[in-house]
């Protein structure tokens, strides 16, 4: 592997002992020296990269992503805000795709948001039937927590008037008790019943495309937070890595309901290697259907079981009530963590971080893994739909940081765009794509916004310390930009280009 010297860079190191530097030497996959231009050691290197004063950062780490869903979404109809404005817009996309697809094959769309549709409602099965009567159709809501099927789709997955709601979800019904097509929290239910044909080569190709896109943004590590993650997926992703389809390092969070598969196979927390590693157990606690699911007692049992098996827990919790239930379980179950356990439990999203939540957060050791990209994409919806008195507590990153709560960030793609720069921008500015500001006093300084996606994210996967920083001994995961970032020009975060991305000392993307 060639050795390298970056010189005349504006290095943001995330190392408190040496926060900025100008030169970095990389050898054998790791960083061996960081310092000032005039102190560069007289080492023979294979390549010198003059950076012209541009910013050099630790490679970005997306602490919460759904890789396979993101990869599959590349082939799905884009129904997101910006791509469609109304239900007829979606119908014409579906109609066009149906014409090019043999009848009987699934048509999939993603990212619709009823808040941004002209009709201000979810589409229903009749809307989809009108566009594609001979194909099963499934449209996923932006959040990933709802979807709509057409009549043929419902029939194929076995949902009819007599089908009871599963414990975790809701089948919306009309006055005659017939399903309307709209389903809440039923992604897991559907994944068992939708037999979509997809050849492994096709999946590998989609993962490879996704991986390349992320490299162009400087993303060198991913943390997959899919609750469906089971042992089979672990093997699928391992094969992707071995084939070279996936260039990033990946932390794979096993779904908490599948945890026994891993422990039975002798796979403990941290199993694998620094390229593919088993991470915290992923738990989803939702209030979507109006009641907490799973119940407080069940959450406690799941957290206890994970801890007893040596796994920290990453719990999806958005609403205050869900977050409180999760934090209560974390607090009462910490004693089960084995001695020497360094990783922390995590609250994913932690959207409604009210004073009550903040107090409990402080009392636990838990991290918050936030999604500033949600502000970029959805600030208008928050302002219009979240009660005014709750709005100051939406993702209050500055308050959490000041309280000493460790923070990390991820995109939650495909729920939001996987572009980390939008998240960094909104963490700093609290601005949406259209310029609406959501409590700007909660914005973070540039260095802290970057920390969410570097050192903070490394801590979230239990790899804190060297990873996510630029210092001697750290893995050489780096992103070089085309300009010098300064806090006073936040728009640069949206327009800057990554000119070189390095994973483990290897240049994996170069403009």
Closest separation between CB of residue 416 and Zn ion, Å?
Answer: 9
Task: Determine the Cα–Cα distance for residues 298 and 490; give it in Å rounded to an integer.
Answer: 44
Which region, judged by CB under 5 A, interacts with Zn ion, from 218-226, 400-408, 457-465, 492-500? 218-226
Question: How big is the site for Zn ion, counted in residues (CB under 5 A)?
Answer: 2
* Three-state DSSP class for residue 78: strand
Q: Please answer whether residues 453 and 424 qualify as being in contact, where contact means their C-beta atoms are separated by less than 8 angstroms.
A: yes
For Zn ion, the closer CB: 23 or 253:
253
Closest separation between CB of residue 66 and Zn ion, Å?
Answer: 6
Interacting positions 93-132 with Zn ion (CB under 5 A): none
Cβ-based neighbour number of residue 420 at 10 Å: 29
Q: CB-side exposure of 46: number of CA atoms within 13 Å?
A: 10
Task: Determine the Cα–Cα distance for residues 412 and 318; give it in Å rounded to an integer.
Answer: 13
Select the residue whose beta carbon is closest to Zn ion and give its number. Answer: 412
For Zn ion, the closer CB: 60 or 415:
415
Task: Determine the Cα–Cα distance for residues 448 and 429; give it in Å rounded to an integer.
Answer: 12
For Zn ion, the closer CB: 79 or 315:
315
Phi, psi of 499 (to 5 degrees): -95, -20
CA-based nearest residue to 441, from 489, 398, 404: 398
Closest separation between CB of residue 447 and Zn ion, Å?
Answer: 26
Which region, judged by CB under 5 A, interacts with Zn ion, from 90-98, 362-370, 408-416, 500-508? 408-416
Closest separation between CB of residue 365 and Zn ion, Å?
Answer: 22
Q: Please answer whether residues 288 and 145 qualify as being in contact, where contact means their C-beta atoms are separated by less than 8 angstroms.
A: yes
Three-class DSSP labels, 216-242: HCCEEEEEECCCCCCHHHHHHHHHHHH
Interacting positions 429-488 with Zn ion (CB under 5 A): none
Cβ-based neighbour number of residue 189 at 10 Å: 19
Which region, judged by CB under 5 A, interacts with Zn ion, from 103-111, 219-227, 293-301, 432-440? 219-227
Question: The tokens 């406690």 sit on which residue?
Answer: 300
Q: Kindly state whether residue 305 participates in binding Zn ion, applying the rule CB under 5 A.
A: no
For Zn ion, the closer CB: 107 or 318:
318
For Zn ion, the closer CB: 420 or 504:
420
Question: The tokens 């000119």 sit on which residue?
Answer: 499
Closest separation between CB of residue 349 and Zn ion, Å?
Answer: 8
Instruction: State the binding string over 14-33 for Zn ion (x if CB under 5 A, else -).
Output: --------------------
For Zn ion, the closer CB: 371 or 454:
371
Instruction: State the binding string over 232-261 for Zn ion (x if CB under 5 A, else -).
Output: ------------------------------
Instruction: State the binding string over 268-287 for Zn ion (x if CB under 5 A, else -).
Output: --------------------
Task: Determine the Cα–Cα distance for residues 292 and 92; give it in Å rounded to an integer.
Answer: 38
Closest separation between CB of residue 319 and Zn ion, Å?
Answer: 15
Task: Determine the Cα–Cα distance for residues 17 and 503; give it in Å rounded to an integer.
Answer: 24
Closest separation between CB of residue 407 and Zn ion, Å?
Answer: 17
- The strand pair at 179-184 and 146-149 is best described as antiparallel
Name the strand (E) or helix (H) holding 447.
helix 446-452
For Zn ion, the closer CB: 143 or 328:
143
Task: Determine the Cα–Cα distance for residues 329 and 309; give it in Å rounded to an integer.
Answer: 16
Closest separation between CB of residue 64 and Zn ion, Å?
Answer: 6
371-397: b (≥16 Cβ within 10 Å) or e: bbbbbbbbbbbbbeeeeeeeeebbbbb
For Zn ion, the closer CB: 286 or 478:
286
For Zn ion, the closer CB: 320 or 412:
412
Q: Kindly state whether residue 224 participates in binding Zn ion, applying the rule CB under 5 A.
A: no
Q: Which residues pair with 394 in a beta bridge?
A: 352
Closest separation between CB of residue 215 and Zn ion, Å?
Answer: 22
Closest separation between CB of residue 307 and Zn ion, Å?
Answer: 22
Task: Determine the Cα–Cα distance for residues 292 and 360; give it in Å rounded to an integer.
Answer: 19
Q: Kindly state whether residue 412 participates in binding Zn ion, applying the rule CB under 5 A.
A: yes
For Zn ion, the closer CB: 253 or 502:
253
Which region, judged by CB under 5 A, interacts with Zn ion, from 176-184, 225-233, 427-435, 473-481? 225-233
Q: Dihedral (C-alpha) 128, 133, 137, 139: value to the nearest 10 degrees?
A: -10
Residue numbers at the binding site for Zn ion (CB under 5 A): 225, 412
């Amino acid at each position: 592997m060639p050795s390298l010297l970056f010189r005349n860079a504006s290095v943001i190191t995330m190392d408190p002992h040496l926060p900025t530097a100008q030169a970095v030497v990389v050898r054998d996959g790791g960083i061996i020296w960081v310092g000032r231009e005039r102190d560069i050691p007289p080492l023979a290197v294979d390549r010198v990269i003059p950076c012209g004063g541009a910013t050099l950062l630790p490679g970005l780490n997306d602490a919460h992503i759904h890789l396979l869903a993101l990869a599959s979404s590349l082939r799905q109809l884009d129904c997101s805000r910006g791509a469609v404005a109304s239900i007829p817009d979606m119908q014409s996309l579906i109609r066009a795709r149906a014409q090019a697809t043999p009848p009987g094959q699934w048509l999939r769309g993603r990212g619709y948001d009823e808040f941004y549709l002209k009709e201000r409602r979810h589409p229903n099965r009749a809307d989809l039937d009108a566009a594609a009567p001979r194909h099963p159709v499934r449209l996923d809501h932006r959040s990933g927590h709802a979807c709509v099927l057409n009549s043929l789709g419902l029939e194929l997955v076995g949902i009819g008037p007599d089908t009871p709601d599963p414990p975790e979800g809701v089948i919306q019904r009309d006055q005659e008790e017939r399903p309307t097509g709209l389903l809440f929290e039923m992604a897991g239910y559907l994944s068992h019943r939708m037999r979509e044909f997809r050849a492994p080569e096709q999946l590998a190709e989609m993962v490879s495309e996704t991986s390349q896109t992320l490299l162009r943004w400087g993303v060198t590590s991913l943390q997959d937070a899919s609750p469906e993650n089971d042992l089979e997926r672990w093997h699928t992703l391992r094969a992707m890595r071995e084939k070279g389809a996936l260039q990033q390092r990946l932390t794979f969070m096993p779904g908490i309901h599948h945890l026994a598969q891993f422990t039975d196979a002798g796979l403990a927390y941290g199993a694998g290697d620094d390229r593919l590693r088993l991470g915290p157990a992923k738990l989803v606690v939702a209030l979507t259907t109006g009641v907490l699911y799973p119940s407080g007692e069940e959450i406690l049992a799941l957290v206890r079981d994970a801890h007893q098996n040596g796994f920290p827990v990453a719990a999806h919790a958005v609403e205050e009530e869900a977050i409180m239930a999760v934090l209560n379980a974390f607090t009462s179950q910490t004693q089960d963590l084995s001695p020497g356990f360094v990783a922390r439990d995590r609250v994913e999203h932690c959207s409604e971080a009210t004073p009550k939540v903040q107090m409990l957060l402080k009392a636990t050791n838990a991290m918050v893994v936030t999604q500033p990209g949600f502000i970029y994409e959805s600030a208008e919806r928050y302002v219009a739909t979240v009660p005014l008195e709750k709005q100051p507590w939406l993702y209050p990153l500055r308050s959490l940081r000041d309280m000493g709560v460790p923070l990390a960030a991820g995109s939650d793609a495909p729920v939001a765009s996987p572009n980390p720069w939008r998240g960094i921008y909104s963490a700093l500015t609290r601005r949406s794509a259209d310029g609406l500001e959501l409590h700007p006093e909660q914005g973070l300084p540039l260095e802290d916004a970057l920390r969410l996606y570097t050192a903070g994210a490394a801590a979230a996967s239990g790899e804190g310390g060297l990873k996510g920083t630029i210092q001697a001994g750290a893995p050489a995961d780096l992103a070089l930009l085309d300009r010098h970032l300064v806090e006073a020009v936040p728009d640069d975060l949206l327009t800057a280009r990554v000119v070189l991305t390095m994973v483990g000392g290897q240049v994996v993307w170069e403009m």
